[in-house]
């Protein structure tokens, strides 16, 4: 029976680490695309962004209207 040298053991560790990294990356990518909780969180995030942009635009429009009315009168 042959024994592994320290260099062989280090090589096995590096290969195992690379393999685990690639598998984990693939699993996480698949999970992100199919997770129902992540999808609902994504939809909620976009709804919040839309509300913030809409309220900012509405507030700016009302502010411009008020300024125009005050300057005319």
pLDDT at 1 > cutoff 80: no
**pLDDT mean over 42-70:** 86
Residue 73 has pLDDT above 80, yes or no: no
Computed over every residue of the chain, the mean pLDDT equals 87
* Cα distance between residue 15 and residue 23, in whole Å: 12
pLDDT digits (tens, 9 = 90+) for 20-48: 999 999 998 888 888 888 777 778 888 89
Whole-prediction pTM value?
Answer: 0.44
What is the per-residue pLDDT for 19?
96
**Half-sphere exposure for 17 (CA within 13 Å, toward CB):** 6
Q: Is the backbone of residue 65 left (phi > 0), alpha (psi -120 to 50) or beta?
A: alpha
38 with 32: CB under 8 angstroms?
yes
């Amino acid at each position: 029976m042959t024994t592994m040298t320290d260099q062989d053991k280090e090589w096995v560790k590096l290969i195992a680490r690379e393999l685990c990294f690639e598998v984990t990356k693939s699993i996480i990518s698949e999970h992100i695309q199919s997770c129902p909780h992540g999808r609902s969180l994504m939809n909620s995030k976009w709804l919040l962004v839309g509300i913030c942009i809409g309220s900012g635009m509405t507030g700016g429009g009302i502010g411009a209207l008020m300024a125009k009315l005050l300057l005319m009168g």
